[in-house]
Amino acid sequence: MKVLKFSSDKLQKLTFVNVDPLDSFLSPSNFVSRLIVNTPNLVSFCYIGPALLSSRFSNMPSLDHARIHIINRDFPKNMEWELHAIATGFSHVKGLSLSADCVLFFCPIFRVIYRGSIHFGCLRVLNLDIDGNADHMEGLIVLLKASPKLEVLYIKFVDCWWKSVWVSTEMDVPCLSHHLRRIVITDFYDSEFSMEFIKFFLQNGKMLEKIEITQHKQKMNPQKLYALQSVQLASKEVYVSVVSHFPSGKIELLQFVYRKRGAVLWKRFAEKLKKTNRSMRDAALKSGVSFRGNKRKKLFHVLNPFRAPKKIKPFI
């Protein structure tokens, strides 16, 4: 089959899982030819599989959310068609989820192949998988510039290049200046690139209110986050919370408040509870309350923002 075409006026949801169950990707049973989607009333679209050649997505003005998950790292020679398909077919989408390879499509190194405009004028929520390197960061910036009304950004770090060099700079990004208020980061790596990543949003997010970080593989060094108080903050106040999950089941919550006059640090704890008390545990994470049986105790400590970072040492 050289062309697979979906054309329907009534179709509202389309999920295309182009992966063989017996193999991870690029199995002989995979569809690797041209995909054409023409569905004016489509609300939800999902594609999981290898990058296709000469794909085309058009006439989808009702699209509410879309997910494109490219699983192979060997890009086809004419991968500009993939970028063209994403940039033009999903221009009306309100929620967009892209895999790390898709983000790389938007990197300026690869964008020289595609000369067309990129614009997601209706996008409110963007969910991305990225690698911790300069190419993915440049691709992310292109996506941010193409999404002027973006309000929430979800980032998952798939991998991190520990020696990758990228330095944050101040720049004019419409969504950071007017709409983006919340950033949620999962599987965060404690590296210099990660600190520059946060610094970029602190420097440019004029409407930014919250940055939520979740860690499962390692513990964040609070002194590095504390040092970011020297950054020239773009907004009046930004809350940065770091939730660390430990094998023992304990959950540790660190919360920083960055202000133009300094940073304040709270350290709070929430312990693992039984499944029946899941709602109590969630409430504990939000309020900073630690539950032990029938007892409840609120633990927090406020540091003077002008004291030296060494004051954090007793809490590590």
| CA separation, residue 268 to residues 102, 221, 310, 315 (Å) | 37, 15, 18, 10
pLDDT at res. 246: 74
pLDDT at res. 188: 83
pLDDT at res. 22: 65
pLDDT at res. 206: 94
Torsion sign, CA atoms 39, 43, 49, 50: positive
pLDDT less than 70: residues of the chain: 21-29, 72-83, 110-116, 160-164, 217, 262-263, 265-316
311 φ, ψ (degrees, to nearest 5) = -65, -15
Of 306, 271, 273, which is closest to residue 289 (Cα–Cα)?
A: 271
How far is Cα 36 from Cα 58, in angstroms, rounded to an integer? 8
- pTM exceeds 0.85, yes or no: no
Model pLDDT for residues 272-304, shown as the tens digit of each residue = 433 434 544 554 444 444 444 433 333 333 333
pLDDT at res. 271: 54
How far is Cα 137 from Cα 107, in angstroms, rounded to an integer? 8
Which residue blocks in 20-145 are alpha helix, DSSP H?
80-89, 100-105, 108-111, 134-145
Which residue blocks in the chain are alpha helix, DSSP H?
80-89, 100-105, 108-111, 134-145, 174-178, 192-204, 222-227, 278-287
Question: Do 189 and 221 contact (CB within 8 A), yes or no?
Answer: no
